[in-house]
Amino acid sequence: TRTPVNVTVTGAAGQIGYALLFRIASGQLLGPDTPIRLRLLEIPQAVKAAEGTAMELDDCAFPLLSGIDISDDASVAFDGCNVALLVGARPRTKGMERGDLLEANGGIFGPQGKAINDHAADDVRVLVVGNPANTNALIAQRHAPDVPAERFTAMTRLDHNRALSQLAKKTGVAVSEIRRLTIWGNHSATQYPDVFHAEVAGKNAAEAVNDEQWLADTFIPTVAKRGAAIIEARGASSAASAANAAVDHVHTWVHGTAEGDWTSAGVVSDGSYGVPEGLISSFPVTAKDGRFEIVQGLEINEFSRGRIDASVQELVDERTAVTELGLI
């Protein structure tokens, strides 16, 4: 039998954690042949709730789940970690300014990055889900100088999946017939879902839609504001769909993208498409042999250029803010 892979999940007692852990333990994250050891990190007040979730995980008798450890100490939770899902974060509460939010999260993601640096396994791969995801990922990455920067990623797969679904509805095809969609920039309301390189049932998606006004006034805002629409309808933020996207992100990272297709992920910029080097921004990416690669050479039209630049500018501003706060 294979040695279990250590999967660390922070914020394990939260609502995404509750939707995520069972899917990881069932084998959907790493595949049906990979045993898993779950390492749950929570704040002290939520350890008891995490223990309750662990009892339910036990009660599923998952054949691939070889154990569950729960801790409120990052150096314990990330010890030997192979896959880190950083879900727990400080949400924005009433009266909080952006600087306060960045600072509160810097206090979480800085130390977690350091704990990953000092304790994780050599092959560690990190996905940041907790918002502001891109900048939290940047903070963690900067605190882990011994880990290759490319191992730190931020989640825009939920945005990607939302865009797939909206485009499939509009064009009347199955989501499986859509390829090469891209989310650019920040996981925020400025994100840009790009259909100009996408294909719908083998046809160029922008031509299949043939309605620039729908793209600008319906598609882009629907995808970008979907999180708020879910809160409005459900009375709580996206949880199962966010967990699903996290599973998709890691599964793709480890198992690769299909030939001729790509996905979207927040990865460290190499300067491609005018995105300043070092920012963690969403790009079109392929995955092969356990590595993401930014798809190169796409032509960016005027419609896309302004929107990509605006979202990237927001990331630059966030990076400036956390630099000025001394968080990176």
Q: List interacting residues with ligand NAX (CB under 6 A).
A: 10-11, 13-17, 41-43, 46, 87-89, 91, 108, 129-131, 133, 155, 158, 187, 227, 237-239, 242
Q: How far is the CB of 266 from ligand NAX (least distance, A)?
A: 8
Of residues 35 and 80, the one with the C-beta less far from ligand NAX: 80
How many angstroms separate the first and last alpha carbons of the chain? Answer: 42
Q: Which is nearer to ligand NAX, 12 or 308 (CB)?
A: 12
Does the annotation flag 45 for ligand binding?
Answer: no
> In angstroms, what is the minimal distance from the CB of 77 to ligand NAX?
8
131 marked among binding-site residues: yes
**Helix runs in the chain, H state only:** 15-25, 47-59, 74-77, 98-119, 133-142, 157-171, 205-209, 212-214, 220-224, 226-234, 240-255, 302-324
Tell whether 307 is in a known binding site: no
We find the least distance from the C-beta atom of residue 23 to ligand NAX, in angstroms, to be 14
CB 212, min distance to ligand NAX, A = 27
- The angle subtended at Cα 234 by Cα 102 and Cα 43, nearest 5°, is 40
Residue 112 labelled as part of a binding site: yes
* Residue number with CB closer to ligand NAX (36 or 87): 87
CB of 256 vs ligand NAX, minimal distance in Å: 22
Please state, in angstroms and rounded to a whole number, the distance separating the CA atoms of residues 298 and 204.
Answer: 14
Alpha-carbon gap, residue 111 to 186, rounded angstroms? 23
Cβ contact 253:121 at 8 Å? no
257, amino acid identity: T
Closer to ligand NAX by Cβ: residue 185 or 199: 185
Closer to ligand NAX by Cβ: residue 91 or 221: 91
To the question of whether residue 326 is assigned a binding role by annotation, the answer is: no
In the residue annotation, 249 being an active-site residue is answered as no
Catalytic position from the list 187, 197, 249, 255: 187
Exposure string for 134-143, b = 16+ CB within 10 A, e = fewer: bbbbbbbbbb
Please, are residues 153 and 282 in contact by the beta-carbon 8 Å criterion?
Answer: no
The verdict on whether residue 161 carries a ligand-binding annotation is no
Q: What is the token pair recorded at 155?
A: 């989640």
Give the whole-angstrom CA distance, residue 326 versus residue 320.
10
Q: Which positions are catalytic?
A: 187
Known binding residues for substrate are 92, 98, 131, 162
